[in-house]
Chains A and B, each alone.
Chain A
Amino acid sequence: MIGEGEPRSWRESELWAKALPSVALQSLFFLAPLVMTVLLTFQETRSFMLQWAWSLKIWTDIFSKPHYWTVLWHTLWMSALCVALCILISLPVAYALATRLQSLSGHVKVLITFAFLTDVTLKTFGWVLFLDQKGAANFLLERIGFPPAMIGFLYTDWATLLGMVYNLLAFTIFTIYLSVASIDRSLILAAYDAGASKWRAFWEVTLPLCRPGIWTGAVLVFLLSVGVFLEPKVLGGGKSPMSAELIRQTFETRVNWPLGAALTIVLMVVAVFVILLFSRVYSLRRYGAAV
């Protein structure tokens, strides 16, 4: 039928006029810099100045120093934990937003959106004030009569993890919410009609249908979390640096561009590799289950 929301067929000028600006933007200021970064990994530095000499020195450096890899491993591990926690916490919240809370859901969304959009440095600062030995948490605990449990929480990996989850939770809430909200209610009713209990229906119908949302959220959070440095530095006290901090140092203090570039590329490649690995396992399992 005419114009029934069907994608229209390709028409030259109209399409190009609209598509070109963002293609140009992203090519010029996203793709091209990425390509250049890759190129940089094949250069060298001498006494803090970049030399355009094509060599593999940086790569041999990287693969020979275990320090970079331990930090990378630590980063991947933290990111994985962050993803797991985000999903776990988001599931009930997204489900509640989508299926209960009809009138309140709009207000809850506004609150979450606002919290998400506020400055990450401010929020991290707020956490420091809360978690500090002489901070708000201990103060409130003492007031209620509990001992100050927040000693030694700040400036540990746990605090870093807390900060990471805090900053990225909104993403998984959003993606899972979209998945749950788009589930056709009649599918669940059909399950009840066929004799399934509420729990069974959830397990067999709702949860599998959320998978796209869970997966998208997981990928997004994972990719974003491998690049954080504010949380480990501020909340973690800089004691257990993650890859991004390392990269920042290479640029700022050591001014070794090729090294920094290489570390960046390695980080991204490994992250994408991990994701592909999991998606392989995930789809294998799906086919296995179908067979």
Chain B
Amino acid sequence: MGQDAILDIVDVEKQYGAAQALKGVSLRVERGEFVALVGPSGCGKTTLLKQIAGFENPDSGRIAIEGQDMAGVPASERPTSMVFQKLALFPHMTVAQNIGFPLKLRARAAEEIARKVREMADLMHLKPEYLGRFPRQLSGGEQQRVALARSMISAPKLLLLDEPLSALDVKLKKILQAELKRLHRSLGVTFVHVTHDLEEAMMLADRICVMRGGEALQIGKPNDIYYRPADEFVAGFIGETNLLEVEVTEVRADSIRYRGPDIADVDGTLPRALAAEAVTPGPAKLMVRPELLALAKDGERYPSAIAAEITETFGKGGAIQFRAVTPGGQPLVVEVPGTSHWPAKLGDKVRLGWMKRDIYLLQARA
């Protein structure tokens, strides 16, 4: 694994005055990967990006790119390129001058620069007539492409993106997200992408790093994190979820016995693999995603089920979301595929069932 690591972050710490922005973060990125850094504001994801880019240096820890320690190496000399949140296109230069700027700094010949600029513009689907215009004359989406072109013209080893799509409207965002995916596939450049849009992270990334309070809580494939989150926070952060209070009575090598208020389970056991390592006898949380709960029709049998009353309904077009509450007062969210004839309505008393393979048992928060 280690041989092809293009970015190696080891135990990086960063303090700003009294606040500790990064508390010992480690991350290894393979060549050609698309890694997303997500987390609530203030979690340190942008700070981490700054350390990788070289705009700041960590107080302790090590950052290596292709095996080379980057300590003391300024941003201008690192093989990284950044796409800024506000794009940072030079307003006094034309689009062509913006894109060609990195090459100009490397003292390349004018014809070579012009040729490469055209190549980049083609790659980014930028019309040639835009090359002579100024950034302010282009639309938001087009400006994004210019920023991407500029960052890639110098063939960087690492492309760092600081929430570049966060200011765009939904339609444009979807188009550019697809563009990013396409670019990543065709160029094979390693992407490190900071975003607060979870859907975006799940769609684009090979691996996601969830951060909070300066720490990396979980690093893994999107599906792994989604179905087997490290703790309650990650579970709730990565998507909507249900967390039911349960009590673990026994932990064996290959199974777990549990029971929960209001939960009707056929045998009260779970395979050990469906529980986090840290789970011990005592209080725990049973996590099941809203789309994996089913509204049981009369007569249908499920291995586990719970009764609830519908308190709110939301029609989301392609899906319908119900909010319910158990007799014990626990809130639940259920999502079913959209149909024209809704399976339940406000106030209905329903039975929600799930398959055992669709849950995950988490350690209850201390």
Whether the pair B46, A2 counts as a contact (CB closer than 8 A) is: yes
Q: Which size class do B's interface residues fall under?
A: 10 to 19
Whether the pair B16, A2 counts as a contact (CB closer than 8 A) is: no
C-alpha spacing A82/B295, complex, angstroms = 81
Interfacial chain A residues near B16, Cβ < 8 Å: 9
Min CB gap B21→A, angstroms: 11
C-alpha spacing A62/B82, complex, angstroms = 68
Instruction: Indicate if A184 sits at the interface (CB-CB under 8 A).
Output: no
Instruction: Indicate if A252 sits at the interface (CB-CB under 8 A).
Output: no
Instruction: Indicate if B163 sits at the interface (CB-CB under 8 A).
Output: yes
Instruction: Indicate if A4 sits at the interface (CB-CB under 8 A).
Output: yes
Min CB gap A115→B, angstroms: 33
Instruction: Indicate if B162 sits at the interface (CB-CB under 8 A).
Output: yes
Whether the pair A1, B88 counts as a contact (CB closer than 8 A) is: no
Interface size counted on chain A using CB atoms at 8 A:
5
Instruction: Indicate if B342 sits at the interface (CB-CB under 8 A).
Output: no
Instruction: Indicate if B50 sits at the interface (CB-CB under 8 A).
Output: yes
CB nearest neighbor in A for B82? A2
Interfacial chain B residues near A3, Cβ < 8 Å: 55, 84, 88
Instruction: Indicate if B345 sits at the interface (CB-CB under 8 A).
Output: no
Min CB gap A10→B, angstroms: 10
Interface residues of B in 45-100 (CB under 8 A from A): 46, 49-50, 53, 55, 82, 84-86, 88
C-alpha spacing A9/B15, complex, angstroms = 11
Interfacial chain B residues near A1, Cβ < 8 Å: 46, 85-86, 162-163
Interface residues of A in 6-21 (CB under 8 A from B): 9
Min CB gap B163→A, angstroms: 7
Interface string of A54-97 (1 = CB under 8 A from B): 00000000000000000000000000000000000000000000
Interface residues of A in 258-276 (CB under 8 A from B): none
CB nearest neighbor in A for B84? A2
Interfacial chain A residues near B88, Cβ < 8 Å: 3
C-alpha spacing A4/B163, complex, angstroms = 13
Min CB gap A83→B, angstroms: 41
C-alpha spacing A9/B162, complex, angstroms = 20
Interface residues of B in 144-186 (CB under 8 A from A): 162-163
Interfacial chain B residues near A9, Cβ < 8 Å: 16
Interfacial chain A residues near B55, Cβ < 8 Å: 2-3
Interfacial chain B residues near A4, Cβ < 8 Å: 85-86
C-alpha spacing A2/B53, complex, angstroms = 11
Residues of B within 8 A of A (CB): 16, 46, 49-50, 53, 55, 82, 84-86, 88, 162-163
Nearest 5 pairs between A and B by C-beta?
Answer: A1-B85, A2-B50, A2-B162, A1-B46, A2-B55
The contact sample of 7 A-B pairs, CB cut-off 8 A, is A1-B46, A1-B85, A2-B46, A2-B50, A2-B53, A2-B82, A3-B88
Besides A2-B46, A2-B49, 18 other A-B contacts (C-beta < 8 A): A1-B46, A1-B85, A1-B86, A1-B162, A1-B163, A2-B50, A2-B53, A2-B55, A2-B82, A2-B84, A2-B85, A2-B162, A3-B55, A3-B84, A3-B88, A4-B85, A4-B86, A9-B16
